């Protein structure tokens, strides 16, 4: 069926999310499943892609350790960013035949979907040449995008600031840029801002339409974990996953 399976994972440790993507990408590449869009709720974490710039962390190691925020190196394109509560993090596990295996087209499509979703709240999202992501002005960024590809299946994805606090971004130069600030739907819209679920529904609809799906189907998290071959404890948000086993392997990446 030509549908996008959409799964709200709930609280998900970041390294568990990496393991889940790893398993689903392998299953999708083998033709054992269709395309997925995962929405995890991550704890506060800094992630570093394969193309980091120097001095992208603005505080010293001791100050960073005092925050309790983990730093995780991951195999996506791009530099450093933050994920955490109140942010819409989306992982499309999609066969890129839908965009003729064109990575630049895939990145532009993700931007288009986010820009169209923002327009529902009368916010004018825009692109800036050479700076992947979605911006509200030349120096205000509201959404980051970083993807990886293995066997022409995309993983990782986008992060849209919705209701999350923005102070953690002060720890870093977001995406390696020294001349920007991060903003959010809540900062721009105040009490009229949607919650994370509402923002997710808008982004899902815009992304599914651009990818040519006939519809979206909600999927249960247990089905996603089972398909990925991962057994979880009852308290899934606290289960430890070995760091080496949790990292997706190989693949081209784009930012």
Cite the active site residues: 175
Dist CA 165 CA 86 (whole Å): 8
CA 55-56-60 angle, to 5 degrees, is 65
Structure tokens at 30: 């083998």
DSSP H helical ranges for 78-220: 103-119, 185-189, 196-211
Q: Where are the beta strands (DSSP E) in the chain?
A: 3-11, 35-41, 45-48, 70-73, 80-83, 87-95, 126-128, 131-137, 140-150, 153-161, 181-182, 215-218, 252-254
- List the end-to-end C-alpha distance of the chain, in Å, as a whole number: 30
Contact between 227 and 29 under an 8 Å Cβ cutoff? The reply is: no
Residue 44: name the closest of 147, 169, 185, 193 by CA: 169
- How many CB atoms neighbour CB 228 within 10 A? 18
């Amino acid at each position: 069926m030509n549908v996008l399976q959409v799964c709200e994972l709930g609280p998900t440790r970041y390294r568990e999310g990496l393991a889940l993507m790893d398993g689903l990408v392998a299953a999708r590449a083998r033709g054992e499943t269709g395309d997925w869009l995962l929405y995890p709720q991550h704890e506060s974490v800094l992630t570093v892609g394969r193309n980091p710039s120097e001095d992208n962390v603005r505080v010293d190691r001791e100050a960073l350790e005092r925050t309790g925020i983990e730093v995780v190196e991951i195999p996506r394109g791009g530099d450093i960013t933050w994920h955490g509560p109140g942010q819409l993090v989306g992982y499309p596990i999609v066969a890129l035949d839908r965009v003729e295996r064109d990575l630049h087209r895939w990145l532009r499509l993700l931007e288009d979907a986010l820009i169209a979703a923002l327009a529902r709240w009368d916010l004018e999202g825009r692109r800036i040449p050479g700076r992947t992501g979605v911006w509200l002005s030349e120096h205000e960024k509201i959404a980051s995008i970083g993807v990886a590809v293995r066997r022409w299946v995309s993983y990782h994805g986008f992060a849209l600031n919705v209701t999350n606090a923005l102070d953690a971004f002060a720890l870093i130069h977001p995406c390696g840029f020294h001349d920007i600030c991060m903003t959010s739907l809540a900062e721009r819209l105040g009490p009229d801002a949607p919650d994370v679920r509402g923002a997710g529904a808008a982004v899902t609809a815009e992304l599914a339409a651009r990818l040519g799906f006939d519809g979206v189907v909600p999927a249960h998290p247990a089905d996603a974990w089972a398909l990925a071959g991962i057994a979880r404890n009852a308290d899934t948000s606290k289960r430890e996953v070995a760091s080496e086993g949790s990292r997706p392997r190989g693949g081209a990446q784009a930012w």
